[in-house]
Structure 1
Amino acid sequence: MNKTFDRYAGIVFLAVGAAFAVGSGTISTSAYGSNVGANIFPMVLGIFLALMSIRLIYETFRYQQRQKRKENLDYKRFGIIFTAAVLYAFFLEDIGFVLGTFLFLMLGFQTMERGRIWVSLLISAAFSFGVYYLYVHVLEGSLPGFPAWLGLT
């Protein structure tokens, strides 16, 4: 943790979050076949990013002086999760939100901490189905559900 870097990063991300929240007002408020407009997601993400940035800036004032130590970066885990995120975004339309999110979360959980497979399965499935149900059925938005080859659409 570098206090100066974290503080500047917090300020930059606060500006980006505010820009997303403000900029989402220029996006259409409705989408074809959806009661949730295209402006909702960037606005929520912008607000969330701004709030987390404020928290980061606040935390930099609470840092205690620590000994300088060399931190080893884990490039292998980063590479696995980055590749999974790119593949998730690329294949989202083909494999659907539920299956794609489930697989991405399972891979992410198992990459970060091996074992506890049942807990990972439960959390991944609950999150995937829960977000899909909330967005599609409650908010009446549209997400790619299941791939056609599964026959569940």
Structure 2
Amino acid sequence: MNRVFDRYASIVFLLIGVLFVWESRKISQSSYGSNVGPDIFPMGLGIVLILLSIRLFYEVMKAQSAVEGDQPRPDYKRFLLILGASILYAYFLEDIGYVIGTFVFLLFGFQVIKRGQWVTSLIVSAVFSYGIYFLFVKVLEGSLPGFPSWLNLG
């Protein structure tokens, strides 16, 4: 663990989280046809970022100094694969819908992180993508891109 970098990164992410929460309060409280306002997710993201940066700062302060030779090398290949998949996911989200896009993105991400375990990856990807869609659209009455019109799923 690079303690100096992690300490500064935790402070930067804490400030970004505070900025997210601060700016999300300026977004209107509700949107058309939705009980969940557009300010909820940026605020939630900001709160999660604040909590994770506090945890990182705590872990850095608690950690013993590590031997520099034991540092693992960054895995640029996996990082670039996930980054590319994230960009494609965001680009095609409206075209293929939330459920299909999230399912494919998660399945790809699970296989990049740990190859194999296809059954587990398929089940988790399917349950998570449809579960979040159902919770947000049906229960909270929010809006997400549904299934593509060419599937004729209604």
Tell me if TM exceeds 0.5. Answer: yes
| Residue in structure 2 matched with residue 6 of structure 1 by the alignment | 6
More divergent stretch after superposition (91-100 vs 64-73): 64-73
Q: How many residues align?
A: 153
Q: Percent identity?
A: 58
Matches within 5 A, 1:97-108: 97-108=98-109
C-alpha distance in 1 between matches for 2:58 and 2:74: 25
| Residue in structure 2 matched with residue 39 of structure 1 by the alignment | 39
| Residue in structure 2 matched with residue 142 of structure 1 by the alignment | 143
| Residue in structure 1 matched with residue 118 of structure 2 by the alignment | 117
Spell out, residue by residue over 1:82-115, the C-alpha distance to the aligned partner (whole angstroms, 9 max, x if none): 1100000000000000000000000000011000
| Residue in structure 2 matched with residue 60 of structure 1 by the alignment | 60
* Regions of 4+ moved over 4 Å: none
C-alpha distance in 2 between matches for 1:51 and 1:11: 11
Q: Shift of the alpha carbon at 1:64?
A: 1.1
| Residue in structure 2 matched with residue 25 of structure 1 by the alignment | 25
| Residue in structure 1 matched with residue 87 of structure 2 by the alignment | 86
Equivalent residue letter for 1:128 = S
- The gaps in structure 1 that reach 5 residues or longer are none
Q: Shift of the alpha carbon at 1:73?
A: 2.1
C-alpha distance in 2 between matches for 1:50 and 1:73: 25
C-alpha distance in 2 between matches for 1:48 and 1:114: 29
Spell out, residue by residue over 1:58-83, the C-alpha distance to the aligned partner (whole angstroms, 9 max, x if none): 00111112211253222221111111
Q: Shift of the alpha carbon at 1:50?
A: 0.3
SS in 2 for 1:26: coil
Normalised to the residue count of structure 2, the TM-score between the two structures is: 0.96
C-alpha distance in 2 between matches for 1:131 and 1:4: 37
Equivalent residue letter for 2:72 = E
SS in 2 for 1:55: helix
C-alpha distance in 2 between matches for 1:75 and 1:18: 29
C-alpha distance in 2 between matches for 1:17 and 1:66: 28
C-alpha distance in 2 between matches for 1:64 and 1:145: 48
Normalised to the residue count of structure 1, the TM-score between the two structures is: 0.97
Matched, 1:51 2:51: yes
C-alpha distance in 2 between matches for 1:122 and 1:63: 36
